Amino acid sequence: MNIALIGYGKMGHAIEDLAPERGHTVVCTVDNEEEWSAKADRLRTADAAIEFTTPTTAVENILRCFGMGLPIVCGTTGWTDRQAEVVARCLEENRSLFTASNFSLGMNIMFELNERLAALMRGRGEYAVDIAETHHVHKLDSPSGTALTLANQIAACGGRPLEGIPIESVRQGEVPGIHTVAYRSAVDTLTLTHEAHSRRGLALGALLAAEYLQGRTGHFTMKDLLA
């Protein structure tokens, strides 16, 4: 598969390093406005685009890929206020879009555990719940999209008000990502934690998503891939 990387930061480099191991070729990288035009011919040779940029540029990048008929995997978070609009456009135009707040397979297993634990804790008022997340200093959105996913799951499955779930965000060094959900009572504490040791797990998930999109149209998430 030929892959175009939209955004050529740390995640873009991690995907580029891993792609050959899965038999894929990165044919194009786009990292600024000028390169959309300068590299248009190479972009057209791609079978899928993988996008990791910024919350302010992600939507425009996705729409540009729609315009080219290019399936796109978006790993940028922080633009959920426009997600319904983008998904509607995807479905109306019969395009291919894969979004996730976190592409790590381990983190997505934690999402499943988080829903189950929240359901078990429903009605147990003696436990207060909180979320903590730590990322590298370059991450632009806070809280992380992953932390917001965890909070929304707890609210939906555990019957707790979303605004009553505190989220602590820390930005330090080059930490790839640590997420912890904690239920605390007067007598004990129960925690779920996922810690990424590198960006390789995220890169693998993004490549699996790009593979999954081949021959498919519509909007997909990690739940579709894992199923």
Q: Which residues pair with 189 in a beta bridge?
A: 184
CA 186 to chain centre: 35
Residues catalogued as catalytic: 135, 139
How many Å apart are CA 149 and CA 75, to the nearest integer? 14
Q: Outline where DSSP puts E strands in the chain.
A: 2-6, 25-30, 48-51, 72-74, 96-99, 128-135, 167-171, 178-184, 189-195, 218-220
Number of H-type helices and E-type strands within the chain: 9, 10
Please report which helix (H) or strand (E) contains residue 42, including its range. Answer: helix 40-43
